[in-house]
Amino acid sequence: LAPHIQQLSMESNGKG
């Protein structure tokens, strides 16, 4: 996975 996708995933998990 690309770095920007990893960051988005982390943010989504934190908010969700």
State in Å, rounded, how far the first CA of the chain is from the last one: 20
pLDDT in the model for residue 15: 67
Could you give the CA distance from residue 4 to residue 6 in angstroms, rounded to a whole number? 5
Tokens representing 13 are: 């998990």
Output the CA–CA distances (angstroms, integers) from residue 8 to 4, 16, in the order listed: 6, 12
pLDDT in the model for residue 5: 82
Output the CA–CA distances (angstroms, integers) from residue 5 to 1, 8, 14, in the order listed: 6, 5, 14
Tokens representing 8 are: 């988005």
Could you give the CA distance from residue 10 to residue 5 in angstroms, rounded to a whole number? 9
- 1-16: pLDDT as tens digits: 688 888 878 777 776 5
pLDDT in the model for residue 1: 64
0.85 exceeded by the pTM? no
